[in-house]
Amino acid sequence: MTDHDRYCTLLTCSGISHTGQLTTRTGTSLRCRHPPRITRHLMLTALKRPLEDELRDDEYLVVVDGCEECCAKKRMHTTGIRPDVYIVATREGIIKRGMEEP
């Protein structure tokens, strides 16, 4: 099975800061625009079950943090699961502006 054949799950930090809110909006938009490619969007702050119970072994996992606090990465570390792709919005040029609306 290649990466193109695997189901893709997007995990966003979805924090309360500007950049965390942007990860949520971006994840929701990607999921709506490309449902065959992004099969699930998990928001770290809105999980109903433990993260390790939400994740599946056969999926391609993309984790997106909004800032250098790296909340999603820290939580992933506790599960022992490594994402296939890891992105930090502020490393990609997004400026963190605190609690301001995105």
Cβ(64)–Cβ(14) below 8 Å: no
Q: Could you read off the pLDDT of 88-99 as tens digits, one per residue?
A: 999 999 988 866
**What is the residue extent of each domain of the chain?**
3-69+80-92
The closest of 60, 66, 61 to 88, measured between CA atoms, is 66
Strand (E) positions, the chain?
8-12, 38-43, 60-65, 85-88
How high is the pLDDT of residue 15?
87
Give the Cα separation of 87 and 12 in Å (integer): 10
pLDDT at 78 over 90: yes
The model carries a pTM of 0.88
